A and B are shown apart, each in its own frame.
Chain A
Amino acid sequence: MVDLSVKIGSLTLKNPVMTASGTFGYGEEFADFIDLSRLGGIIVKGTTLNPRQGNPYPRMAETPSGMLNAVGLQNKGVEYFASNIYPRIKDLDTRVIVNVSGASIDDYVGVCERLQGLDKVAAIEVNISCPNVKQGGMSFGTTCDGCESVVSAVRKAWDRTMIVKLTPNVTDITEIARAAEAAGADAVSLTNTFLGMAIDVERQRPCLSTITGGLSGACIRPIAVRMVWQVANAVKVPVVGLGGIMNGRDAVEFMLAGATAVQIGTANFIDPQVTVKAVEYIEDYMKRHGITSCAELTGAMKV
């Protein structure tokens, strides 16, 4: 028997595989393909205080082993989530985690205050790393002061588990991770997308309406693995690893680098069943290697 459960702060997940925000909707979109109760957690679409239309089309460009997106946090706002979506997903037999975004600190706090009344929201993931919005978003995640100010304000408004999602678009991600930890984060997740750009050379125009966007997919994985390894060595709180995980093998790679749990994002677009297959892979991997609990896998890389 292997124990797949993992702990993120005070929160226990039945296994280390979660879905990355913005790639899995609210879970319902994938209910025809997988048994959602087999997931460690679902991190729902980035939620803001007020509804957002997001950026104009085109918002996506395929790139070598990846894609750029510039969705811009399109969502119907926290009130719509609380009254219309939450009732439909609250009884799923998995952890529901809400990704929280904002243009100002008050926005983040406002979203958390509304979520506080929703018992089945097991945790929040504070998004200080969205590259596709003009205000807020990544700007809070690129300086230690910005990170500290958001995280400490949210900490006062939210008493359940708080994961802080970090941007890789910084000189030294370990500094930001330490700032998040010092301000009260229960865990950090990394990485969000890498700022990138693509040009349609025949038309001589940018592929995205916003010119730049966030790069995700298998192409970013080695950089994300390196950052997870660096951060896991820099902070005491658990690290949630993501960035280009395409299968169970890749998930194990992140855990060996120091991740306590993982998120699968863009790969859901290519194989809607990838998350459940990854859970099965991890279980089999642990059996093959005589590992009995996921905690033994975290940071187990031998050097």
Chain B
Amino acid sequence: MDFIVKANLKRGDNYSLLKLAPVKGNMPQVKPGQFVQVEVPNSKSTYLRRPISINYADSHELWLLVRRAGAGTASLCNAPESSVLSVVLPLGNGFTTDVKGTALLIGGGVGTAPLLMLGSRLAAHGVDVHFLLGARSMGDLLQLDLFRQTAEVHVATEDGSLGHKGLVTTHPVLRNENITHIACCGPMPMMKAVAAIARERGINCEVSLENMMACGLGACLCCVEDTKDEGNVCVCTEGPVFNINRLKW
């Protein structure tokens, strides 16, 4: 599906928020936690599409929050307004939205992106939503205003420039005994540490993996994760969101 870049908003030195609209027709229905595969425009050194999580979507708009990590994402971050991007969507399973009680949505770095939509969906269903957002520094915390409009926000920065000083896993909100559900997206060490805490406390926990992908459609079998029930499964089709009980970590 072709999308036109309506706006490309720089966020700090390393991030761009791309606001896209379909060239023709409406956006398909999207679940929080699903992702897209974007063709990289005008790139000499990359070959494959880039999987990017969906930050926000409605019937006529799609937001992608892109971190400049390599040549492909750098090219996406520089996509000019009015240019056209080829996007395959929606892909993957998404987060569970059938949640009751208190949900803690934990995001690290650009991993916060899919939690915004999840939080607003859960809040609309009457779930008590808390965000716990972590980053190296204040400048890496993105969309704080939107998160704050959606639910209560807790912040951890490694340098202490905003909120709790330290990793998200040391934030006092994790000791809130009312938490019944955790959804987490961020760097692998963070997700593993959160999963260990959830397991210890007996809290239902989902994580969103970002294994390297080629096709995004379950055909190439490159992005596999080892599971307890079925061995290697594709993160692109069986995930990217997994309940930690399925994973071997």
A residues with CB within 8 A of B: 22-25, 29-30, 33, 45, 53-54, 56-67, 69, 71, 74, 217-218, 266, 268-272
**Distance from A63 Cβ to chain B, minimum over Cβ atoms (Å):** 7
A59 contacts across to B, CB distance below 8 A:
221-224
Task: Report yes or no: B232 in contact with A30, Cβ–Cβ below 8 A.
Answer: no
Of B47, B225, B226, the contact of A270 (CB 8 Å cutoff): B47
Inter-chain contact count A-B, CB under 8 Å?
84
Q: Is B243 an interface residue (CB 8 A)?
A: no
B residues with CB within 8 A of A: 39, 45-49, 86, 88, 211-226, 231-232, 237
Once A53-B231, A74-B224 are accepted as A-B contacts, the answer to whether A62 and B48 lie under 8 Å apart by CB is: yes
Nearest chain A residue, comparing its CB with the CB of B72 = A62
Task: Report yes or no: B219 in contact with A71, Cβ–Cβ below 8 A.
Answer: no
Task: Report yes or no: A54 in contact with B219, Cβ–Cβ below 8 A.
Answer: no
| Distance between Cα atoms of A61 and B223 in the complex (Å) | 11
| Distance between Cα atoms of A71 and B232 in the complex (Å) | 11
Task: Report yes or no: B47 in contact with A57, Cβ–Cβ below 8 A.
Answer: no
Of A24, A30, A71, A217, the contact of B222 (CB 8 Å cutoff): A71
**Distance from B29 Cβ to chain A, minimum over Cβ atoms (Å):** 14
Of B212, B220, B224, B225, the contact of A269 (CB 8 Å cutoff): B220
**Distance from A167 Cβ to chain B, minimum over Cβ atoms (Å):** 19
A268 contacts across to B, CB distance below 8 A:
215, 219
| Distance between Cα atoms of A58 and B235 in the complex (Å) | 12
Nearest chain B residue, comparing its CB with the CB of A72 = B221
Task: Report yes or no: B218 in contact with A58, Cβ–Cβ below 8 A.
Answer: no
Once A25-B218, A29-B217, A53-B231 are accepted as A-B contacts, the answer to whether A60 and B46 lie under 8 Å apart by CB is: no
Task: Report yes or no: A272 in contact with B217, Cβ–Cβ below 8 A.
Answer: yes
Task: Report yes or no: B217 in contact with A25, Cβ–Cβ below 8 A.
Answer: yes
Task: Report yes or no: A270 in contact with B231, Cβ–Cβ below 8 A.
Answer: no
Task: Report yes or no: A30 in contact with B211, Cβ–Cβ below 8 A.
Answer: no
Task: Report yes or no: A67 in contact with B221, Cβ–Cβ below 8 A.
Answer: no
Task: Report yes or no: A69 in contact with B220, Cβ–Cβ below 8 A.
Answer: yes
Q: List 14 A-B contacts (CB under 8 A).
A: A23-B220, A53-B232, A57-B223, A57-B232, A59-B221, A59-B224, A61-B212, A62-B48, A69-B214, A217-B47, A268-B219, A269-B216, A271-B39, A272-B217
